[in-house]
Structure 1
Amino acid sequence: MHFGATLEQSIHPPWREHYVDYTKLKHLLREDVAPDSAAAQAPWTENDESAFVEELINVQLEKVHAFQRKKYNELQDRTSACEARLEEVVRQEEDTPQKDSEMKKCLKELDGITEDIEELERFARINFTGFLKAAKKHDRKERGGAGKGKGKEIRQDPKVRPILQVRLAQLEFNKEDYSPLLYRLSTMYDFIRQNLSDEQPTAATEGAQARRASISVGPKRYSSHKFWVHPDNILEVKTFILRRLPVLVYNSQPSKNIDNVGRDPTITSLYFDNSKFSLYNDKVSKKPDAKSLRLRWYGDLKENNEVFLERKTIRSAADDTEGASEERIPIKTKYVNDFISGKYSMEKQIQKMKDRAPDDVADKYSSLVDNLQKFIQEQDLEPCLRACYTRTAFQIPGDDRIRISLDTNLALIREDTLDSQRPCREPDDWHRHDIDDSGMAYPFSTLRKGEISRFPYALLEINIRDSELRSRTKSWIHDLMSSHLVHAAPRFSKFVHGVAVLFDDHVNTFPFWLGEMEEDIRKDPKAAWDAEQKRIQKQQDDETHVGSLRAQVSSFGGRSGSSGGGGGSHRSSTAFPSTSPQGRGTAKILPSIAAHTTTSVTEAPEAPETAESPLDAAGPEAYKKPLENFRHLFPSFNLSRYGRAHSSNSRRRSIPSLPPGVTKPSQLLMHQGPVRVEAKVWLANQRTFIKWMHITVLLASLAIALFNSTHAKMAAGIYTGIAVFAGVWGWGVFMWRSKKIEERSASSFDATLGPIVVCVALAVGLVVQFVVRYRQVTAGGGGNGGGDGPVMTVIPGTGGSSVLPPIVFDGVEWIEL
């Protein structure tokens, strides 16, 4: 299918006018006219070149980018509005039908936001592919001939794709950075689900949950982070890691060539797909349960009589696990052809397995072999791409908490038979003999140009156990991931990249990282540090949206519920991902980790800590309190021992039963005996009381002074009332807090009503006093004819001399002697 038809099928109707105008770009390239027409035969001039570049980069690209940024900002605003509405719900203390109705409306709005995020991601991907396709058509166009009135003839063929890729690297619409927004949505989803226990997930919400696969709950234990390393920095990266981890020699097979002893092993992966590249499209589109199949061996194939057949599955969010699972079986090289074609089903190996292993293990192995063979037959898979690279592994032997691999000299080679006239390998064989029989090694200089793509960088992959993410002793990992030595490459795949660059004529969807291939990934150390600090600050700003809602929910007395019907189900469903950002105290490590997480390796859940949490000590009833349920639904961002004790893992632990004859004490040891409170606690309470008394004295003094004025008696009464209230309030709060200190109460000591009343009353008093005095001054109409100012009068018998009248102030007449 041509890309134009693919684009037309992918258009979201409400956004149609904002997609790339691929038809117009083809018209500028004269792709929509007959090849033998006069328009097609006309020479390509500078005016034609300028018009195409202007339309592609300055018009279409800017149009798509502006719309994407606008929609993303709208999604952020809608998310903030939902958070504000939920905060209002949290403030309501009683359960009412209006509260449930409001939460249902918020849930519907969240589903709409999630669907728009999915659509926006598809919008960015299809437009990204359209720009690359248009640039490729331009660069392939043959030019020449004499110009006739259209401008000066172009004598050389300029390439527009490098310019486009540089511009794409500067924009944001192809970065796929939706994690902060999705994390905020996940928080609200979990809160609403726990309050609407009778609410069943709809088709829309199930799709939304699938989209939140990267932040959904699961017992994953390892997190994988992928980076590109420039050749100039490879040695420095190796030496940096070597100071902390030793090189792991995992390929102990003896080599016939003594020169290869002690060298890093060469790994070859042979990827399978069909002529439609279904596996590639599923992986690029991030479909649930996307699968990939490969054959892998170490060293030269002629020295190996056995290879490994591996199938990798990306699990959806609906599963209990998240990330990738791998199925792997060994197979003799001489049986590979027959196994792929379905003529050989490994009966001998299965029989050996049944003779040596338990029945259940043998049955699982037999079922796996059948499934892999059916998968190959049903999908019509055959080898299409070879990836050869040299791997250096770093790991402490026997300690898998941190595993690091560095792949260099990566070469991606075509292994297909799509062109029946010039197939890359023999159609009746499963690998290329011209490479394997001759022992050809990197850089494979004898291969034709279109058959090989040499990746310009090294690939660094860091696998960290989740418990180590919280270890302060492993800060060097964060230093490496945020340094100028590496460039983040989330979700990078050798298989996807190889198909995208070698089979670009056969696929209509490209991965986003192609836009960064022309970018120089080397960084200035200071600039890298500054960028890391800005990113951390942005991450912390995103956390405030979630933190504000969590703070409100911590005091919300709603009901608890579970879609699973049990307490254990409730506690497991409210757990948050271990790689989520965890506040300012951990902003140094976790933001980088969250930004680069790509794959997770599923293992058994981590063993609980030995320290008993306060909830465990309180007994099973503690889990039933609504307040505690919501505090655990929105846990604090603390990674200390106390915070981990209150995390989801601690809540999953069952309460151990007491042995016979042992009963639970009614009062803990910490609460027995006399209460001992530090003196500074009492002194702090007394200082607060003295402050209130100081305010009372000041207000009372002001009131007494105002009582001497005839016109200010109203204000004096107001200030007297404020002084009396301040004194009574200060004494009451002092006694109330003293009682709570004696009882060792864990509730809040805040008392905000008094300060608010005093401030409002003072403001009212000032306004009243000002209004009264203003009316008195302006009552006579102003000037000398009115008001209280002195008036000059002439007293008879004084010869017409003017004298001042008597001065009257507050009812007392003052006469000048």
Structure 2
Amino acid sequence: MKFGKYLESKQRVEWRTNYLDYKGLKDLIKEAVAETERSGTVTFSPRTTSLSVLRAGSLKPAEERFFEKLEYEVGKINKFTVDNVSTLKKRLKQLRERTASNKDGKETEELLQEAKLIGDEFLALEKFVNLNYLGFHKILKKHDKLLPHAPCQQFYIAHLHHQPWVQGNYSDLLVQLSNIYSQLRGDTSGTKNEDSAQGFVRSTTKYWVRTTDVSAVKHHILQHLPVFQYNVGGEDQQDSQLINSVYLDNSSMELYHGRLDKRPNAIAVRIRWYDQGEPKLCFVERKTHRESWKGEESVKERFMLPESKMVPYLEGEYTIDQAQADLRAKGKTDAEIAKFSKLFTEVQQQIDSKQLRPMIRTQYLRTAFQVPFDATVRISLDTNLTMIKENPDDGPSCTVAGRWYRDPTLPIPRTEITRFPHGVLEVKLSLPEGQKAPEWVQDLLDSGYLTEVHKFSKFIHGSATLLPDLVQAVPYWVDDESVRPSMLQSAPAPPSHALLPSPSGAGAPTAIAAAAALQPKPRRRTGNDDDHLRHPLLGDQPTLQLLPPRDAVGFGRDKKRKGLLDWYFNSRTPPQKPREGAMARTMPMRIEPKTFFANERTFLSWLHMAVTLGSIAAALLGFAGVAQRGEGAGHKVADNLVEVIALILLPVAVLMCAYALTVFVWRSRAIAKKSVGYIDDRWGPLGLAGVVALALTAILIISIADFVDQLKAQHTHAPAPAPSDWLLSRAL
């Protein structure tokens, strides 16, 4: 039985009963508005009370009853959520025991179905929580709109954020599910996949995931890959690990612009540590960009240093000789020391020559999925992504304070921190050449839960948002509507002369005025843009072409197509009405000039072949006409043959021209809209090859028939032998 039918038949009444009573709260708001209109003033509320006098319940105003009911609804939803989570945990415990006793594998299919059902119920519970959370937002907004003298939305939303059913983290359920799936698949045994062997093709792609879809994506992945557990042991295991990375750069943001422009050998230098609290063991990492279209791979290298050595290392006081002595004291081999020394020296020289210092920190929770002995498919999901400016605007910088990361005791103003609104999914494939990705991976990519963001970088996004005065250009994805509010939240306050009056005339600054403080920077963009789409951060520059989202209700491939060309080329799905709060569904890609040139070269190659065939056909027609005029009525068969061949080749050349032009225009539009997905035409070249083969076959058949006719004509009109020759033959 499908999960939707299961809920409808078994839990429909229970779930509907525990939803937020939006209508009842709305009626109380209307009653409170009516009371206010009757009294003409705000309903009287005494400011003193007595411990020996009971307040009459019948005298409670409608607004007070509204808040009582609101609090009751909060408690009801919390109890329902906690009870359901407790039930799911009990079922998981029983399922784990059954899985452990399933030695012969007879119940494997049944256990997999039960695990899938538990996961689906958990996702439905999350949807239940989100619907009620949205309902509270709406009813509080309506309250403040109809009763502006008693605003409560801001306070009560903060109150909601601390409720267990909103704040609770139940990722341990997913970890237990992952363990069950892993045991049923047998992930604990196998042979190592030597992905470093020749012939393997590695690819890395990054996607944005809406927060509301994170659990659904996790559930789909863990059915095929186990969750990597950082702290094994205990019932309440978490599926993620906190990661902090401090990125270095200089005052001209040299490393930022190099990574943004994807310059060959552009580097990024960062210091990373794991888990919460003060760092103890640090990893110094260097990432070097290489051009993938040249067949090169980007390189990431790193070495470890104790936290106490970080500041001396950055200042050049901790030398390679001291580091080698420390490694020898720890018992490291000469090969390990040599490898460490090379990277240690190179990074230290780059820090000194480029005058690098801490600039931006990224902080996020990472969930990793991978089979321990197989690196064919690796997936990581980063959530709660936050970027922080390492050097406070109104405080000492890291260099002055003798630190390599921001002092945790200093407050962080809103202009020095930005919270990214989506999760970031990274899919790493290491497949033998010619082998396709597993079907479940393709189903995940086609599910509608993911939005591909070509070459997305946390370092680049944080620098562009928090250091607008230093950067000279920003990445293309800042144009996306879904990240606009988070960037505006971190924008510096506008100068007094830039404040624009609000429509009501109250003189409050508008959002565009608040964003005007961000100096407009040139965007890396290519293609045609719609002038009516504007972005406050860009001044007069238009945004990316935004595409509506697919209403993804599950994992699977959408085979609906619209339009003749789109149906034929199988390039995109039909637009649908966006869901409320949905992320703008773009295919934001930084289009390289070589992409356009490759499209033009392909078009010219087809055109060259078409012109060649057309020229041959035209020449044959011309020679045939000259021959007919020169020889009169003779040799009619040969003359007609030449004309037939020319008339066969000429339509083929015209068809080839039309096909080349159609594909060129279609690909140009797809590239310009940055909606490039799968733009390969698998059937067009095969069709044209078939047409050419048929044309050549027809020419061959006609030529053979003409040759046979000529042989028959020669045999019929052969001259009779001479009489002397005949008599001689008879005598012999």
TM-score band, normalised by shorter chain: 0.3 to 0.5
Report the TM-score when normalising by structure 1: 0.37
Q: Which has the greater radius of gyration? A: 1
Larger relative contact order, structure 1 or 2 (CA cutoff 8 Å, min sep 6): 1
Report the TM-score when normalising by structure 2: 0.41
